[in-house]
Structure 1
Amino acid sequence: MSQAKKIFTRMCLNNWGGINHKVLEFNEYVNLFSGKSGSGKSTVMDAIQVILYGSFSPSFLNKAADDAKNRRSVLSYLRGEQKDGSANRGNCDFCSVIALEIEDTGTHITTCVGIAFEVRRNDSEIKKFSYFSHSGKMPEPGYITEEGFCYSNQDIKKLVNERAVSKDNRGKGDVNRIYASKEAYLGTLYDVILGYIDPNRFITMEKSAIALKMTNGTGQFIRDYMFPKSTSDTIETISEQLDAYRQIKEKIEDMRKRIDLLTDVKETGQELVTLQTDMIRAESFIRCIDIEDLRAKIEAAEEDKKRIEEEQAQLQQQADTLAEERGEVEQELIRVSADLKASDLGNKQQQLEELEQRSRMLIDNSRQWRKIVQGLKQWEEDEVITDYISNPVLNLIETIENGNVTEENCQDLHLKIESAKQDIENEFEDYSEQKRETGKELKEKQKLVDDMKNNRKSYSENLRSARSSLERKLSDRYGRTIKVQILADLFDVADEEWKNAIEGRMGRLKFSLITEPKFAHDAAAVFREMKQFEEVDLINSKAIADSEPRAMENSLYEAVETKEAYVDVCLKRYLGHIIKCHSVEELEQVKDGVTPDCYSYSNFIFRHLRKKDYTTNACIGEKVSKARLAEYEADVERLEKQYHELHYMTERLKAARDFESLKEESKYYVNLSGAEKELGKVNKKKTALEETIRTLKEGEYKELQQKEQSLKQQMRELQASISENQGQMSEKIRRHENLSGANDQRRLQLEEMLQGYVPNEEISQEVQEQLKKRSGQSLKNQKNAELAALSAGEQEKAETLRTARNRYIFAYPSSQFNGSEKSNEAYEKLLEEYQTDYEPAYEAEFEKQCDFIYKSLRENVIATIHGDIKAAKRHAYEINRLLRETNFSDSTYQIKIEPAKNENGQFFEMLMAEELDSKNLDNAGFDGQLSFGEDTFYQKYEQKIKLLTDKFMPPRDEDEQVRAKKRQEMEQYADYRNYLSFSMFEQVTDEQGNVIRENFVDDMAGRDSGGEGQNPKYVALLAGFAMLYMQQSNRDSKIKLVLLDEAFSKMDQERSAVCLKYARKMDLQLIVCVPDERLQSLIRNVDCVYGFRRHQNQISMMHIDKGDYLKLMEGEHGQGEPETVK
């Protein structure tokens, strides 16, 4: 008789997905859901998971599908949302219940568990729900009221209260409850109802089973789900002991650290004293050199002062002689200069200078008059300007040019020229206006010709921009190119006689934008937002087409043609009512007409059509008219010639503004005209005066002049000699003063140096000996270099001492030191105390604590892990025995446990040592202490024991994150699985059954076919579930549920059958989802089959009779697939 267990017998789904109400019945072993993709299998599987996990997260829903495309949620299931956006319960308030019925096969006690929802039409999330459980079977007909409505939360509460006092309430624990929280619900579910199973492992394994995704490999799956973590309190036991061990260890380390730091302070201080002694001797040597050198400099300076005083006396005598000579030469120069001034030559030279100045002025005036005359000639010579000057003016200009310059003539000519300039300015304005108009027309015609030559219409940039912008926005809206046209481009004028009339009557309308009628509405909506295009029109082609306009006989519509039907309708609307006429009489007989010469009659009004509309703005037609192009080219040629002529005229008239017009006073021009005659008279006087001056200079005056120059030269030479003598005298005085000042400073400096100086006879003799061989500066440089090296060493050593002291102070801030002590005495005294008093006591206590920790580690950690590893190997043996009894097609699988292949594998040998297999009492009083080969064990694995001890050392940091991280690491090393490697392999045997090779599953991943790759994963999965349900307490029966979605997708019939038999052998209850094509290969090995179908967003589930199906497969009721699953 099989062991008692808990099985899922029924499931109720009310208002879930495409299901309004359905109750499914489950078999004790293999239950199969069959259907096409999207038929609703995952809908039921997700409802089971929601109940078992108590979670509304979408993370586990429909996991057999592509995660990237998975948009399902619990709320979407409740509303019954479909892929097309519709929902079965999208616009109403409703209640929903999903529940599972569980029966204990041993006691036959039945319990139900589920979740009830109340959903409002505007809810965007699940707000009102209740976790519930109750004793007994589901109420008939499955949580539906007598009125046919799903139970509300109030109905569920009433049912739970009724069951609490009914005879069905006979199980262990209170299960008739409405749970206040998810945690309370899951606590009762996994303990009382499901049989005390580990909820975390159960949920993780069930999620892994859905679509069977083992991303970390089979070995990791076996480790996590087949071999549970140890639950011993090893960490708590060893942590307290290690904390005490760490404290004494830290004391020892602290004492050693104090001694090391203080020893460093002592040695550094001694080295610093030695350097300071050497520096004092070097400084004394340099001071002695400075004193001797300063005395020598004072003596040398006194000798220099005596020599300078002698040179000063010589220079003073020379200065007196030069002063006497300069006085004699100066008296002689005064006499000669007076004789020169008494002569008449000076007056003559002054007169000559005045005549030269007058000559220069007259030359400038003569040049200015010639320029004025040349300017007046421009009025006569310019062929354009001459036409605007009268003959009297020209005669007056000629008179002035001939030299008849009077104030009256100048004034008269100025007035007449100003009058002529005003006439020229008026003419310039007229020509400029003509030039602007001609240029504007020329530019328009050139652009028109250029557009026509390139076979494009001369549309404005605003119109082109509006057309392209509207076309782009419509194309973006439709996802393809939508054409927007200009009306003038879509039809041609067939009768050339009426072309101008049609161009004129269409006017602005021909520039309107137009689309096909099916796009007219969207075009209007888009164009409404294009407010910047105020001058552009858009035709509603759909409205015109809907109005079905008709063309009148003999209308302008007959003179046009188009290829587009919707354009033809528009032409009927705009031209079909305008009658072609040739006279005023004909116009009077119609409501709307026009003649070929563009005389129009409409609304009882006669008018001439705008010429620009049928000339420059003419643009109707798919192609450019060659005749009109030739006409426009002739206009461009004519306008270019006209523009050049007007440009020439304006430039000549503009130049006349700068012609001479005698703007100054008339007297000024009269003076300028006589300058040339006066210049001849002045030049004649200047020549005569120059001859007189030359005669005077060649006589007595010349001799006096030469003597004056000679005396001035003597004065300059004497002055230079006197200046040089004074400079030399000043330099001697300055040097004498500098030497006196420098010596005064040296004497003061010497007095300061001698103050407090105690001569050292040994150093003095050495200095004197050295000074005989080399200079004082050289010797001083050598000693300064030695002192600099000693000073650098002293600073470095002082910094080293300061650093050594600070290291100690920073390490022990409670000490009485501040780092600035002048002596090391206090530090050395403390060092001596530590070395003689404290260190030996701490060492003895530490040895005792180390011995205690070793014994505790071996008893509480190593022995526990040792036992867990041996238990795991026994457990693996039992699983392998079960696997050997099941032949998976042509493969036999086994689980293998080996030492860890990472750094943790180094502990395996120690953890499995033979010395750990014997226990008894030792003399130290530790119960269960391992004593057999104890010393041998420690000596053999000393390094590994110390390394493992560090792994369990509790942190001293009070930070919660650090402690949690360390706690996690300690739990890892307390877990026996940390030192093992788990794997599964395929056993290959020879004909005699001997194992010849082991093919590890993870190594074969990617090489095997799909079925061979899936087979070992299902083996590990099912074995993992068996382990999950076996490793709980045997006092309570437990569920044996396994959920598989899209199962055995790559496995053949034989391998699938073996897996199902394997699951049955392990007493598991399976709920498996497969597509229809897999049903035929699996049905012989299943116990319950439901066929799923979806029609008009409704899911139907039909229970398939296995016997009838097999008979149909064998041909007893005809060939083909059973009707119930088609």
Structure 2
Amino acid sequence: DSATEGQETVVRYLMDNVMLEDEMFKIGNRPRTITEFRSFNNKNIKLFTKTNAEGKKMIKQRFGRIEDKFFQLIPKALAFKPIDDIKDFVYSYVLDEKEVNIDNLRENVRSYQGLEKTLEGVKNRIEKLSEIECHHKAVVDCIQSDRMYEYFMAQSDLDLTKEQIGVLQDEIRRESYRLEQLNAKCSSMKKELENKEEVRTLLLAELNANSDFQTLEKQKKYLKELQEKEEIQYQEKKRLLESGKKAGQKVSRLLEIPDVDECMKQYDELLHRLKDTEDVVSAQELIDRAIAYKKHMSTKLQRKNLEIQSRLNEIAADLQETERRISNLKQHRFSYPPAVELLMSRVEQELLKIGRMAKPRILCEMLEITDETWRNAVEGYLNTQRFYVLVEPEHFDIALGIYEKLRREKKAYGVGLINSGKLEEYDIAPAGSLATVVESKSIYAKRYVNMVLGKVHMCKRVDELKQYPVSITPNCMRYQNHVASAIRPEIYTTPFIGKNAFKVQYEQALQKKEDLNRQKIECKDRMTHMEVTLQWLEWDDDTDVKYRITIVSELKRTGLEIEKCETEIRNLQQNTTMIEKQIRADEMRKECEELKSHISKSDRESGACELKISNAKDRLVECEDECIHKNELITDIAQKAENEIVFWKKEYEKQTGDKTLEQFRQNFDRRRKANNTTKENADKKMTSAMYDYKTAFDFGAPATLEAYPEYAAVQERLVNSELLNYEEKVRKAKLSAEEEFREQFLSKLQENMKQAQGEFKELNKALKDITFSNERYEFLYLPSKSYGKYYDMIMDDFNVVQGESIFSGLFHENHKEVIDELFSKLALDQDNGIKALDEFTDYRTYMDYDIKITHEDGSYSLYSKVCEEKSGGETQTPFYVTVAASFVQLYNNNIGGEAIGLVMFDEAFNNMDDERIGAVLEFMNRLPLQIVIAAPPDKIQYIGPKMQETLLVLTDDKVSFVEEYRYASGRK
């Protein structure tokens, strides 16, 4: 249409069922104006539009509400282009571009990865704070140990003072008793002196007055007193000998014990000559030593008795545990550390709660040793790692959460939880390594063993060990970090690996039960023997002997006095002469002088005893004052220690049980110094870790022990709040990303790819029975060589299974590399990343395309290999076949009833022979299409018979016109 300035320049009209005639556009030879045109054709014009977009919309509606692709295919069909690149050709003519909107997916992936980075940051902070916590715990433990050592030193100092008090009290008692004996002896001698002086005085008086009778009477009276005294002393000696006999019987039994103290042998000799003992002081000192020895041995035996009783309790507990172990082994179940069994139980319960049938396993139960020569080496090197808990990769986070909860509840420590999802690189056991003799039906268990034992080289001889960084011999000599060390046999003596381990452990448990019962009997026998020995160590009779032994010498002196008195009486009764009395008086004088000398000596000894007693009492007062102050110090320490004082006291009793207090103080003085060194080192490490944390995270608290609560508060907040918060956010973001990935990427791409494959199948079905110059065509659509892994992932049926995560389990294991690569690209913002994503979201990317050309003899060739060798006609055939199929696909996708089915070719088939032209037209006539072909006249004989109508376009000078071409009576 044309118009004047300011009006529409282009208008498109829709007319239905109207043939174009000249009068529609002209009046005579003059073109109609727009107004005239619209007026004349008003009845036939159904629509008219003013823009290209409206025009296209009008045509699409009229042609059956077809897609925009029509406007791309029409010019491509008109402009024939040889097929040089099969993929470009398929993209242009066969498969439509279908948009997969991944904006939400990209946003979810970015959010997920961003949150994951934030979570990693939180975990990194927690890790550094945990390091600080570890060092702080070491410092606090050292401080706590120092407090305990301070208590030990203070208590031992007090006990030493108490021992000194005991020694002083014994000295005071001993010297007091000696003083008492000396005073008694002195008193006796003074009385004897008094009697002798009185007798001498009487003798002198007799000599002066000759009064013998008075003297005789006094001597008789004195004799009677002495005899009464002797009887009392005799009864005392009798009781002494009875106590000595009882004490002797006990000492005799004690002497049967090997290595008995020498004082007991001396004491036994004393008891055998008890009635003849003269040196009372030495005898009493010997008895004191014997009593002290008995007390010491009794205390030692009582402590030993308590130890045996404690051992009996341990044996009873061991027997109970062994019985439980035997019961478990009968059911083919090992007994593990309580923390391991607790974690296993909790994880299994949690998995059942969320509907997972998988169970956690313990590593040793999943392994088998193929060479028994190396069993001890494997068992010994793995040690506690044998009891590590193994779960499926998708269950690790669940198990870890449960473990963390148990840790916070202080119920489980030291249990290994294997992250099996991070072990893909350990599929192969290195040759010569300890891992080669261990097998497992579990890929995860085998991978872990390969990781741990793969670095340990097997050496038959010790001299080969240093040739490798980590190595071991069958006898468990291990070499690692340039250090050789022998693994303790108790680690590997009890096997846990392999089916035979149950049998061995069962036999060991039975043997242990037998040994424990034997030990139980032995302990009871020892307790019985010690109870008898404790009776022999009783010292009541010894104490009685000690305090009665003086009676022997006293009785002897009394006997001598009686003899002297009797002699005096006899002499007086003989009516001796005055000369004899004079001699007797002189003898009495000498005896009195001798007694005075003894009394003087006894007084000096008593003075020395009194001085010793006074000095000992002074020192005793000082020690008692020290005890008060030291007790106050210990009371202060105990109040600060609170509940720990109970443990400290038990530990103190244990440590001082088998050594002297001096030895104990020396040992713990060294320990305290070593503990201070350890504390200083731990404090330095803690401070360094605090500085690192402050620098890394711009934390304001000082790097000191006093500031630790601020670090602990941050750790508590991170662990109990932010970590859980971000883990939940990551989980939700992961679920969102997974849902988008599944629904908007995997499912839609799979749907598009399956639809494309269906279209190719339909196209191949149409081509199946048509021969093009002795050739048949078939379109091939194969997984892309470049994107084969992506193809496998997209077409994997697992991605449409509901209730399973694509980030775990078999799907993730099979396609982890592809998922990680794709998610990395989804997170990119650069132009290159967006271009790459366009390619990744195009379902056509994941297939390679070709045309299989089957020849008459049954052989075939691929178009991509021979396209450069083919003639023009041979390359045109696939073009027309594919274009026609593309139009069929276009019109089949319409939503407005029957589509027009229009296809137009310009200068069609110009290089094709008649056979190929006929085959192509036969193929097209089978399709629901209206074909319009423009071709040169020389092709009419090949094309015309296959068409419903043929028109000739002719020109005469400047005039073009069209004539219908008909066939009449079999001729043109």
Assess same fold via TM > 0.5: no
Larger Rg, first or second structure (1 or 2)? 1
Question: Relative to total residues, which structure has the larger helix share, 1 or 2?
Answer: 2
- TM-score w.r.t. length of structure 2: 0.37
Q: Normalised by the size of structure 1, how large is the TM-score?
A: 0.32
